[in-house]
Amino acid sequence: MNNSSLRQNVHNLFAFYRFLVIIQKKGCGGVRLRTAITRKKGNGPMQSHRIALSAYQADDSYIGRVQKLVRDVVIPYQYQILNDALPDAEKSHAVENIRLAGRKLRGEAVPPESFYGMVFQDSDVAKWIEAAACTLTAAPDPELERRIDALVALIGQSQHPDGYLNSYFTVKAPERRWTNLRDAHELYCAGHMMEAAVAYFEATGKRELLDIMCRNADCLCRQFLERDRRGCPGHPEVELALMRLWRVTGIARYRELARHFIDVRGQEPNCFAEERKKDPWPVREGSAAEYDPAYSQSHQPVREQRDAVGHAVRAVYLFTGMADVARETGDEALLSSCRALWESITKRRMYVTGGIGSTVQGEAFTEDFDLPNDTAYAETCASIGLIFFAKAMLENEHRGEYGDVMEQAFYNTVLAGMQLDGRRFFYVNPLECVPGVSGVAATQRHVLPERPGWYACACCPPNAARLISSLGAYAYSEGEGVLFADLYAGGAVRTAQGVTLRCETGFPNDGLVRYTMQNSGKFTFAVRIPAWSRETALYVNGRPAELQAVCRDGYAYLKRDWQPGDVVELRLDMTPRKLYASPRIAADSGRICIRRGAQIYCAEEADNGPVLPLLLDDGAQPFAEPFDPELLGGVVPVRTAGFRLRDGVGPYTDERPKAEPATIRLIPYAAWANRGPGQMRVWLPAAFPGLP
């Protein structure tokens, strides 16, 4: 198959869709459109597929600026880290591991102990390649391509003749290949490298890494579809990667293997328990101890799972693969599980910042409504995975809530994961920080008040880079005759169906989103109406959208014979709002947080002095300050009224602490911890006057 037919294949496959029979009765959640919009009768939400990486070109609005930061700073910075060229950062050794594996395969003497780092160190390189590849779609960069090509050559040299690829096992323990699927991340690393291969091929048309990873996928197929039909990945990831590889290559056995991994997961006897019986070698000391199969979502067959449990990143990577397979195979039972798991996460186990994972123990979900702010885990990777899951669900059934959560996780937790200068990163994203306790107390050692430059376990930084640089593929999607705008991303889009349009927006700082058609064509333009926007206005060529517009399931569907210069304008409600948590969430009861548009706000010590003594006045209306281009890379601060409690004598007193009126200034959570360590709170205790 040559390159162009391969690409065609992708779109042919995407063209397949089906209407779901479930009638969705909900409209645009919480939205009151100013113009009357007739609800379109008919079937439920439609399927869609993502646009090609190259179909979106960012302009210099918010997304474009973040992508530029990734391209100009993050990618080169991380390249130095991966090559151990930054002496002050945590040692990576990731590229060197791959080089050593190649040397060993060429017969050179490479002692096992020369491997350094995590068992999944390879995946850092894979994610970096994917991130770098995605940036190439925005701007050619021969030097960067040369670097990637050099890495691809190293990777190729480290591949075994049968397609096997993993520097840890090649250098350290070749005889132990596939004997610790539970902990050794072989399939996880393979998956990430497949994703990198797909991205690099899509960005450049270069096949070398794609061919390497097809050989690797073939090796996996032989191993897991023929030799060991019980094995499955301890850390899901390869499922969604195989689906991507299938979409690009059209090779059906990759999809078959993805589905197989999903089918065998959680079946009795548990494959991880079985392999431990054969040879219980530990990846790290102590790691062979007690193991809860729920940690890796292998406690029951996936079609029976209804609660999101265990390691949060494993969970959302798995659920993404499940949703992908459900879409492509029409597996209703699987989709039904995905829906239940989505509900479990987003209705009961997700922070208001789109963070998931309530505990450091197992980096995991805990129980419904257990969402502590100070000991939160809320790993950056987990929110990235949640975006994958949301996108995969969107592709199954286009409903605004998936887009809403995608946006919530992106504009809050994912962006908070990166310093504004692109050189430091959070792994853990707490909703409350008290220097002196956070990062220090035994229960909060994982909660750092400032972003480190790198991590021994460095999964998050390159993961954020690849998500950001591929954001266009999350911002838009296509259904039959429909172009969906799922996120508000300024720039130009050109779809496979021939639609081109330009989006101009100051989002998330500003609520005006203007789409201008660049060519003519009869199609439906569907734009997400976020549930958070209470008063939303939609204009087509300056006129309020009325009969033209159909709003259902969180999207406004505008069907029209579009002409060049036609303008669709969305005016979102950017009034700062007080948010209240369900009283079931113990950590937030009696507290309020502030949201403006897609952004959750927080109070920081830099603006307020110590934050712990602040009470937010529920009787006051928060208001937005003017956009400040100098502050934190350009934000709209919010002010509201409250009180500051004075500290009394001793820890407990029966005299009410003196309170003085205070103005509380809040900034977007994504921008916290950019001005030195200080107290930070998302949920502030409320002063509730005049209840009820």
Site for a second copy, residues 573 to 632, rule: CB under 8 A: 577-586, 589-591, 593, 595, 610, 612-613, 615, 617-618
CB contact at 8 A, 601 and 669: yes
Q: Out of 455, 567, 659, 677, which residue is the one contacting a second copy (CB under 8 A)?
A: 659
Minimum CB distance to a second copy, residue 412 (Å): 12
> Dihedral of CA 276/282/283/285: which sign?
positive
**Residues 83-142, interacting with a second copy (CB under 8 A):** none
Of the pair 150, 586, the CB lying nearest a second copy is at 586
Minimum CB distance to a second copy, residue 666 (Å): 15
Of the pair 106, 584, the CB lying nearest a second copy is at 584
Minimum CB distance to a second copy, residue 347 (Å): 6
Residue of 55, 71, 76 lying closest to 10 (CA atoms)? 55
Query: What amino acid occupies position 549?
Result: A
Of the pair 139, 441, the CB lying nearest a second copy is at 441
Of the pair 509, 679, the CB lying nearest a second copy is at 679
Catalytic residue among 338, 459, 460, 602: 459
Of the pair 374, 546, the CB lying nearest a second copy is at 374
3-state secondary structure of 126: helix
Q: From residue 29 to residue 68, what is the string marking binding to a second copy with x (rule CB under 8 A)?
A: ----------------------------------------
Minimum CB distance to a second copy, residue 386 (Å): 14
Minimum CB distance to a second copy, residue 639 (Å): 18
Minimum CB distance to a second copy, residue 390 (Å): 16
CA–CA distance, 233 with 377 (Å, rounded to integer): 23
313 φ, ψ to 5°? -70, -45
Minimum CB distance to a second copy, residue 361 (Å): 4
For β-strands 535-540 and 567-571, DSSP reports them as antiparallel
**Residues 133-162, interacting with a second copy (CB under 8 A):** none
| Region of 84-92, 103-111, 190-198, 647-655 interacting with a second copy (CB under 8 A) | 647-655
Residue of 605, 536, 541 lying closest to 572 (CA atoms)? 536
Catalytic residue among 130, 239, 363, 432: 363
Minimum CB distance to a second copy, residue 545 (Å): 24
Q: Out of 84, 218, 307, 374, which residue is the one contacting a second copy (CB under 8 A)?
A: 374
**Residues 672-691, interacting with a second copy (CB under 8 A):** 684-691
Residue of 442, 286, 446 lying closest to 359 (CA atoms)? 446
| Region of 63-71, 88-96, 363-371, 514-522 interacting with a second copy (CB under 8 A) | 363-371
Q: Out of 5, 361, 519, 621, which residue is the one contacting a second copy (CB under 8 A)?
A: 361
Residue 26 sits in the site that holds a second copy (CB under 8 A): no
Of the pair 512, 612, the CB lying nearest a second copy is at 612
Residue of 409, 402, 394 lying closest to 352 (CA atoms)? 409
For residue 39, the 8-state DSSP code is P
| Residue 630 burial class via C-beta count within 10 angstroms: exposed 0-12, middle 13-18, buried 19 and up | exposed
CB contact at 8 A, 216 and 192: no
**Residues 532-571, interacting with a second copy (CB under 8 A):** 532, 534
Q: Out of 228, 307, 370, 504, which residue is the one contacting a second copy (CB under 8 A)?
A: 370
Strand partners, 484: 477, 526
C-alpha dihedral over 205, 209, 212, 214, to 10 degrees?
-50
Q: Out of 116, 291, 369, 539, which residue is the one contacting a second copy (CB under 8 A)?
A: 369
Residue 660 sits in the site that holds a second copy (CB under 8 A): yes
Chain center to CA of 445: 24
CA atoms within 13 A of residue 107's CA, in its CB half-sphere: 0
CA–CA distance, 10 with 192 (Å, rounded to integer): 20
Q: Out of 12, 43, 80, 653, which residue is the one contacting a second copy (CB under 8 A)?
A: 653
Which residues, including other chains, have CB under 8 Å from residue 618's CB and lie 6 or more apart?
578, 592, 686, 687, 688, 689
Active site residue 189: no
Active site residue 459: yes
117 φ, ψ to 5°? 110, -165
Minimum CB distance to a second copy, residue 589 (Å): 5
Minimum CB distance to a second copy, residue 586 (Å): 6
Residue of 285, 220, 267, 277 lying closest to 246 (CA atoms)? 220
CA–CA distance, 525 with 509 (Å, rounded to integer): 24
Q: Out of 112, 367, 481, 627, which residue is the one contacting a second copy (CB under 8 A)?
A: 367
Of the pair 170, 599, the CB lying nearest a second copy is at 599
Helix (H) or strand (E) holding 683: none
What Rg do the C-alpha atoms of the chain give, in angstroms?
25
Query: What amino acid occupies position 268?
Result: E
Of the pair 145, 343, the CB lying nearest a second copy is at 343
Q: From residue 426 to residue 445, what is the string marking binding to a second copy with x (rule CB under 8 A)?
A: ------x-x-xx--xxxxx-
Other beta carbons within 10 Å of 327:
24
**Residues 449-508, interacting with a second copy (CB under 8 A):** none
**Residues 283-322, interacting with a second copy (CB under 8 A):** 286
Of the pair 436, 676, the CB lying nearest a second copy is at 436
Measured CA to CA in angstroms, residue 526 lies from 45, 76, 523, 557, 592 at distances of 12, 37, 10, 4, 33
Q: Out of 169, 643, 669, 672, which residue is the one contacting a second copy (CB under 8 A)?
A: 643
Helix (H) or strand (E) holding 476: strand 476-479
Q: Is 256 left (phi over 0), alpha (psi -120 to 50) or beta?
A: alpha
| Region of 100-108, 178-186, 269-277, 355-363 interacting with a second copy (CB under 8 A) | 355-363
Total binding residues toward a second copy, as defined by CB under 8 A: 77
Q: Which residues participate in catalysis according to the annotation?
A: 363, 459
